[in-house]
Structure 1
Amino acid sequence: MGTGKTSLIQRYIHDSFPSLYKPTIGVDFATKLIQYEDTLIRLQFWDISGQERFANMTRVYYRDSHGAFIVYDCSSKRKDETFSGVNF
């Protein structure tokens, strides 16, 4: 079971929650345009898989980003090791 990254993004972009759990394979992309005062802003979300087998690819995805949301399962017994070795 995942932490809910895809669900959060889908809720924000499409105002709905997925009814079935489907793990992200690699990376998925979503875009939302928002108006802030006189400026149109394009938000691009990169929904990166939390699966260990894709961990070596994530650094490429973070390059040139302007921000990040870190989502994790706080009830997981492995949460302390989740962020060990993470460099931003």
Structure 2
Amino acid sequence: LATAGTDVAVDFLHDFEKAVTLISRFPETGSPKYGYEPSLAGIRFWPMKKFPFLIFYIETEHQIDVWRVIHGNMDITADINDPDSLP
């Protein structure tokens, strides 16, 4: 994204906002997946539509915490289960 230009960055933000709006309305819509760390119980993810990124989030009693946005080609399991990267 850094070299793609302003139009792509704005498009990314719009896509992200749409995904987060959907997640906030229907938090159970995301797939429960990944995470072997006990502190990640309940983590879900939702794919962005126009970009190959996954939004990882945890639903709490009063809010949705977006934990991380990860490119779909990354080693997601290793990244999610790294204890040094926990929220």
TM-score category, normalised to shorter length: under 0.3
Higher relative contact order by CA 8 Å / sep ≥ 6: 1 or 2?
Answer: 1
Instruction: Please tell me whether Structure 1 or Structure 2 has the larger radius of gyration of its CA atoms.
Output: 1
TM-score normalised over the length of structure 2: 0.25
